[in-house]
Amino acid sequence: MPNTELLNQTITEFYDKMSSWEQSVVKETGYSLAQTHTIEVLGCHGALRMKELAQKLGITTGTLTVQVDKLVNLALIERGAHPEDGRSTVVKLTQAGEEIHRQHNQLHLELMNDLTRHVSAEEAQILLSCLQKMNQEF
Query: How many Cβ atoms sit within 10 Å of the Cβ of residue 63?
Result: 13
pLDDT computed for residue 87 by the predictor? 82
Q: Indicate if the pLDDT at residue 1 is higher than 70.
A: no
Instruction: Give the integer Cα–Cα distance in Å for 129 and 138.
Output: 15
Q: Which of 95, 89, 99, 101 is nearest to 43 (CA)?
A: 101
pLDDT computed for residue 2 by the predictor? 66
pLDDT computed for residue 36 by the predictor? 93
CB half-sphere exposure, 14, CA atoms < 13 A? 10
DSSP 46: -
pTM reported for the whole predicted model? 0.82
How does 125-137 read in b/e, with b if 16+ C-beta sit within 10 Å?
Answer: eeeeeeeeeeeee
DSSP string, 73-128: HTTSEEEEE-SS-TTSEEEEE-HHHHHHHHHHHHHHHHHHHHHTTTS-HHHHHHHH
User: In the structure, what pLDDT confidence band is assigned to residue 44 with cuts at 50, 70 and 90?
Assistant: very high
Q: What are the tens digits of pLDDT across the range 61-108? A: 999 999 999 999 999 999 998 888 778 889 999 999 999 999 999 999
**Is residue 45 a contact partner of residue 105, using CB atoms and an 8 Å limit?**
no
Q: What are the tens digits of pLDDT across the range 14-43? A: 999 999 999 998 888 889 999 999 999 999
Instruction: Give the integer Cα–Cα distance in Å for 52 and 90.
Output: 9
**Longest Cα separation, the chain:** 51
